[in-house]
Amino acid sequence: MARQGTRLPAAAEEAVSGGSESESKSALTRSRILDAAARVLSERGYAGLRLTDVAAEADLQAPAIYYYFPSRDELIEEVMWAGIADMRAHVAKVLDQVPDGTAALDRLLVAAEAHLRHELEISHYTTAAIRNAGQVPEGIRKRQVLEEERYGEIWRRLINDVARDGVLRPELDLYIAQMLVLGALNWAVEWWNPRRGSVESVVRNAQSVIRHGLAEVPEE
């Protein structure tokens, strides 16, 4: 499936908009390498990523990669960090656009849709980060783990708000509920493909599971 929106780091954006022609070209080349690495890593995993494949995807000679990234693992580390950082920024931006006064459970459902769309149809970076979290060496995951903690804080607040609204089932543990929801959303990258239904269908099913799994059903 074709993904939308490649990632251009802030430093590259500055170089492109205000730097010299050589700086702009360098920034864009670095971004091309990262985009290529994200696609290869999302499809072939940590063990299967070869710099020759990344170079071919980026339409470069493999030695050129070392000008921008001293090692294979440093390239992978950047992709893994960006996958979660971009996800966090995307979900936070979507939530900022939700009208004031929206019920906490509805905000949680909005976040679930934003998360699924980002990992399934927007970003190879996020797909790569989720799929390879358990495969890469711990040293590579340090920055990613910090981003995961920051992203988890968004979900902690969402779940807590549902509880404060008096909607969360009383038997549920807030942390366990948060981790189960996030775990289920993340796992979609492993099993979903267009033959199993549209992204819209995945979103609807996930929202239904969350709504009826977390919300207390009033007695009739």
Whether 52 shows a pLDDT value over 70: the answer reads: yes
Exposed, middle or buried, 217 (CB in 10 Å: 0-12/13-18/19+)? exposed
What pLDDT, on a 0 to 100 scale, did the predictor assign at position 24? 82
Determine whether domain 10-214 maps to CATH 3.40.50.280. no
User: Is the separation of the CB atoms in 72 and 97 below 8 Å?
Assistant: no
Whether 183 shows a pLDDT value over 80: the answer reads: yes
Domain boundaries, the chain: 10-214
CA 71, chain centre distance (Å): 23
How sure is the predictor about 83, in pLDDT bands with cuts at 50, 70 and 90? very high
- Each residue's pLDDT tens digit, 94-135: 999 999 999 999 999 999 999 999 999 999 999 999 999 999
User: Which tokens go with 39?
Assistant: 């696609």
Average pLDDT over residues 178-206: 94
Whether 138 shows a pLDDT value over 60: the answer reads: yes
Q: What is the mean pLDDT of the chain?
A: 89
- Each residue's pLDDT tens digit, 2-27: 454 445 444 334 434 555 666 688 88
Q: 27 CB contacts (<8 Å, ≥6 apart)?
A: 8, 9, 11, 12, 13, 15, 16, 19
Q: 70 CB contacts (<8 Å, ≥6 apart)?
A: none
What pLDDT, on a 0 to 100 scale, did the predictor assign at position 1? 40
Whether 49 shows a pLDDT value over 50: the answer reads: yes
What pLDDT, on a 0 to 100 scale, did the predictor assign at position 7? 53
The CA distance from 49 to 18, in Å, is: 34
What pLDDT, on a 0 to 100 scale, did the predictor assign at position 20? 61
Q: What percent of the chain has pLDDT over 70?
A: 88
Q: 75 CB contacts (<8 Å, ≥6 apart)?
A: 33, 34, 37, 51, 54, 65, 69
Higher pLDDT, 7 or 54: 54
